[in-house]
Amino acid sequence: MYVWIVLKENKQKHTKKGATRSTQLLKIIHIDICGPLNVNSFNKERYFITFIDDFSRYGYVYLLHEKLQAVNVLEVYINELEMKLDRKVKIVRSDRVGEYYGKYDESTIPKFKRVRQHQV
């Protein structure tokens, strides 16, 4: 008969430094566009855009035919959220924001500010 003894090490929790999380709903929304995909969806969409609330981690996915639809979908999403939750989106964060160049700035969608961050 063999007896196995398992010893627990005293591990300390490691916390990431530099990653600030939102403290309230809709304070920060993360967005990203993916595509073109090689396989079309049922309606021939080749792109998709994701929206994730930083506080709740609740996410939405919208299918797009073209990247040009991103700004319109962003406006629809924000208007829908603000009406449902009776709160305002404060910051929209994207990794590159390239899909919005020439179409988006604070004068066209003045209700929130853009935070541009490149993440690996």
Which residues span the domain enclosing 99?
A: 28-116
Residue 11 belongs to a domain: no
In a domain, 103, yes or no: yes
In a domain, 2, yes or no: no
Asked if residue 9 belongs to a domain, the reply is no
Q: CB within 8 A of 31, min separation 6: which ones?
A: 49, 50, 51, 52, 74, 92, 93, 94
CB atoms inside a 10 Å sphere around CB 74: 25
Whether residue 112 is contained in a domain is answered as: yes
Q: Which helix (H) or strand (E) holds 28?
A: strand 28-34
| pLDDT tens for each residue of 20-69 | 788 899 888 889 998 898 887 888 999 999 999 999 999 999 999 998 88
Give a yes or no: residue 13 inside a domain. no
With tokens 């003045």, the residue in question is: 110
CATH of the domain at 82: 3.30.420.10
The pLDDT tens digits for 66-116 are 988 888 898 899 999 999 999 988 888 887 655 555 555 555 554 545 555
Q: What CA–CA distance (Å, rounded) separates 30 from 54?
A: 7
Assigned domain for 4 exists: no
